[in-house]
Structure 1
Amino acid sequence: MTSRPHGAATAIRLRAMVFPAATVLLACAGAAVVLAADPTSDAGFPLPPCPVKWLTGLDCPGCGSTRMIYSLLHGDVLAALHFNAAAVLFIPFFLWTWGAWVLGRWRGRSVRTWEQWRWSPLVGLVLIAVWSVIRNLPFPPFDALYV
């Protein structure tokens, strides 16, 4: 049985962290763009509109996500929930998935997450469909979800 020298194992692990580090850098760059743009007002530079809302006038499941991220970056959780409550509630699951991916790359083997649960795809699709419908209903209390 042969074993790798300690330096080689460290080099392999560090190489495996290149993509996770790149995702952090891209996320920071995206956050900087959102902060500079200020999507909650006309003060910053314009970001492209949601194509679904632009074409249909309806809020898609992701509508308001940029304003939600801007609000979270400023620590305004209530505003973030107003702009896209479903996306705010999804953040812990996204972080879980990202963390498991990073840990799996570090260990050299995959780490199971909620994505592998039997009903995850179906539950996810149902939640997205329900969110798409209720945020476009034109009567109280659902009209408060329209952004």
Structure 2
Amino acid sequence: MLWLADPTTPGGVLPVCPTNALLGLTCPGCGGMRMVYTLLHGDVTGALRYNAVALVAVAMMVWAWGAWVLSLRRGHLVRSWQHVSWAPRVALVVTLTWFVVRNLPWAPFTGLQV
């Protein structure tokens, strides 16, 4: 559905971010649907503009999926980033930092709001 329904067009069929609609804040996931839509259509720079951290998260998930597939093929565990003990803490700190930085009301941070 995301391939066909253009979330970059205002007033489309896809819902808006509830955090943004109710609180006026740009949440860490804001722009995620637009990022995926733009990425599916081959525009990596546009995807980066909509949500840079989510784009990195997609790349990390592809890496984790690749390690899992390789583990299945080889018959033993292929270690990847998700096997390190500090990965969840780093993900939490990056997400919270992204949430704060995107909502700072002065330049250049206002350019991160979507």
Task: Return the TM-score normalized by structure 2.
Answer: 0.87
**Structure 2 stretches of 5 or more lacking a match?**
none
**Secondary structure of residue in 2 paired with 1:37:** coil
Q: Distance in 2 between matches of 1:123 and 1:77?
A: 24
Alpha-carbon shift at residue 105 of structure 1 (Å): 3.2
Count of matched residue positions in the alignment of Structure 1 and Structure 2: 114
RMSD of aligned alpha carbons: 1.8
Alpha-carbon shift at residue 108 of structure 1 (Å): 4.3
**Structure 1 stretches of 5 or more lacking a match?**
1-32
Task: Return the TM-score normalized by structure 1.
Answer: 0.69
Q: Distance in 2 between matches of 1:61 and 1:109?
A: 35
2:67 maps to which residue? 100
Q: Percent identity?
A: 50
1:9 maps to which residue? none
Whose helix proportion is higher, 1 or 2? 1
Q: Distance in 1 between matches of 2:10 and 2:20?
A: 18
Q: Which amino acid aligns with 1:36?
A: L
1:61 maps to which residue? 28
- Between structure 1 and structure 2, the one with the greater Rg is 1
The answer as to 2:14 corresponding to 1:80 is no
The answer as to 2:56 corresponding to 1:89 is yes
Q: 2:18 aligns with which of 51, 68, 73?
A: 51
